[in-house]
Structure 1
Amino acid sequence: MRPQKTQGFSRIASDVGERLSVEGLLARFSTPDACVRGTVFSGLELSDASADGTSFEQVVFRGCTLDNVCLANCTFTDVLFSGCRMTRCDMGRSWLNRCDFRSCSAPGLSFLRGRLTGVSIEDSQMSYCDLSEATVNRLIARETGLAEVSLSATKLRHVTLDQCDLTRMTVLRTSLAGIDLSSCDISGLRVSDTFRELRGTVVSSEQAAQLAGLLGVQVKQDE
């Protein structure tokens, strides 16, 4: 049975259209405390640009390619990324409030020291994603590749992970209590020597056997 589709958090007005050109967008980036509001970008190709400190409100990025774009220290409110490719991009120290990622490829995307409140990720590839020292409240990720994701000193609340690839995920000084990982691939999970990060985590019986290996325990199979 396929997992349910995520409704998403972003609230995009029905009258949002393509109102800002690439030139206009770059001009906003060069303006202190700039705001990009109420526009759709379709097929945008942007590289080696910095939007450091820009606010995005009611914005849709559809089929866009962002390469080496700095989106650090930005604020994203009611923003949708759909079918986008983001490489070497940085969202560190940014606030994402009611944002959705749909069918995106964003390997290595950094949310370092960021704040995520109401973020959904579906059918996307975000391997090597860095959520270290971030504050996360209401995150839903479904059918998404998060291999080698880094959770170091991350604060997690109300997190749903459904059929995600979490292989070789690194979790340090981060509590996974109450998070259901039973439908995810957690092969090669990395935690601290005390294993305290795993207390209260929900796993399947098969995963429990895998985790027992971290403790040096061998689980005997029924004959």
Structure 2
Amino acid sequence: MASIPDTAQTAYDRAAGVRALALPAIPEELRALEADDLLEAAERTLEAIDAHDLCIADENFTELEATGARFTNCFLSCCDFSGALFTDTVFESCDFANTYFDGAGFTRCTFKNCKLTGASFMEASMESVSLEDCTLAYGAFNRCRWWAFEARRCDFSGADMAEMDLHYIILDDDRFIGTSFFRTPLLGIDFSTCQLEGVALSDTMAEIYGTKMNLYQAAALARHLGVIIAE
């Protein structure tokens, strides 16, 4: 008798390849950036800057470009960075709550201990980006592209992550409670160390094909399919 191949496992193995993240290249010498400098910047281009303890809200920074930059302990809530480009940039202990990054590009960037609650990253692109101990609850990531992306101990609860393009994703101890993955293929992603509860999927649940989960996560999703789990 011929055996039936485990097609889901095969698909997962093919898609779960790891791409090493390229870390931000930060120049040794950085120029201190004051709030007035950022607000009055004519060319909207920042190079080799150190932004520390800035406190700015409700300002327009659309299409701003930053490279070789460091933002530390900055409050930039409710600002608009739509179309901005960040390359080789570090964000640490910053507050970007309810800020717009729609259509923005992030390449070789790191976020550590940042507040991004309610932030919008619709159609943004993130390549070689890592997040650690960040809050992204209720964020909008619709049609966002992640390529070589890591998130560790981050909270994506209530986030809208519909129709995303995900490749080479590493997740560890993250929270996805009430998160929407509508029409986002999760092939090759390992959720087994994460909290995955009450997520929104399409009626066919095709999004989770080739996804790795622990026993409890799989059982919870099976109940949505009408499967009765023996105790």
| Alignment match, 1:26 | 39
Deviation at 1:207, TM superposition (A): 1.0
> What SS does the corresponding residue of 2:175 show, helix, strand or coil?
coil
What's the RMSD between the two structures over aligned residues? 1.5
| Alignment match, 2:128 | 118
Question: Is 2:83 the partner of 1:70?
Answer: no
> What SS does the corresponding residue of 2:29 show, helix, strand or coil?
coil
Deviation at 1:17, TM superposition (A): 4.1
Question: Is 2:193 the partner of 1:193?
Answer: no
| Alignment match, 1:143 | 153
Aligned mates of 1:124, 1:7 — CA distance in 2? 18
Greater relative contact order (Cα < 8 A, sep 6+)? 2
Aligned mates of 2:60, 2:147 — CA distance in 1? 27
> What SS does the corresponding residue of 1:57 show, helix, strand or coil?
strand
Paired AA for residue 9 in structure 1: L
| Alignment match, 2:119 | 109
Deviation at 1:68, TM superposition (A): 1.2
1:88-107 map, 5 Å = 88-107=98-117
Deviation at 1:34, TM superposition (A): 2.4
Whether the 8 Å CA contact 1:8–1:120 is kept in 2: the answer is no
Whether the 8 Å CA contact 2:34–2:54 is kept in 1: the answer is no
1:31-70 map, 5 Å = 31=42, 34-70=44-80
> What SS does the corresponding residue of 1:78 show, helix, strand or coil?
strand
Deviation at 1:99, TM superposition (A): 0.9
Question: Is 2:24 the partner of 1:14?
Answer: no
Whether the 8 Å CA contact 2:21–2:148 is kept in 1: the answer is no
- 172-181 or 210-219: which moved more? 210-219
- TM-score, length of structure 2 as denominator length: 0.88
Unaligned runs of 5+ in 2: 1-19
Whether the 8 Å CA contact 2:119–2:139 is kept in 1: the answer is yes
Aligned mates of 1:82, 1:200 — CA distance in 2? 34
Deviation at 1:36, TM superposition (A): 0.8
Whether the 8 Å CA contact 2:188–2:210 is kept in 1: the answer is yes
Question: Is 2:162 the partner of 1:162?
Answer: no
**Deviations 1:197-216, CA, capped at 9 Å, x for gaps:** 00000001111111111212
Question: Is 2:217 the partner of 1:207?
Answer: yes
**Deviations 1:38-70, CA, capped at 9 Å, x for gaps:** 111111101111110110111111001112110
Name the structure with the higher strand share. 1
Paired AA for residue 11 in structure 1: A
Aligned mates of 1:151, 1:214 — CA distance in 2? 20
Deviation at 1:21, TM superposition (A): 2.1
Aligned mates of 1:142, 1:37 — CA distance in 2? 28
Moved beyond 3 Å, runs of 4+: none
Deviation at 1:7, TM superposition (A): 8.0
| Alignment match, 1:3 | none
Over the matched positions of the two proteins, sequence identity in percent amounts to 25
- TM-score, length of structure 1 as denominator length: 0.91
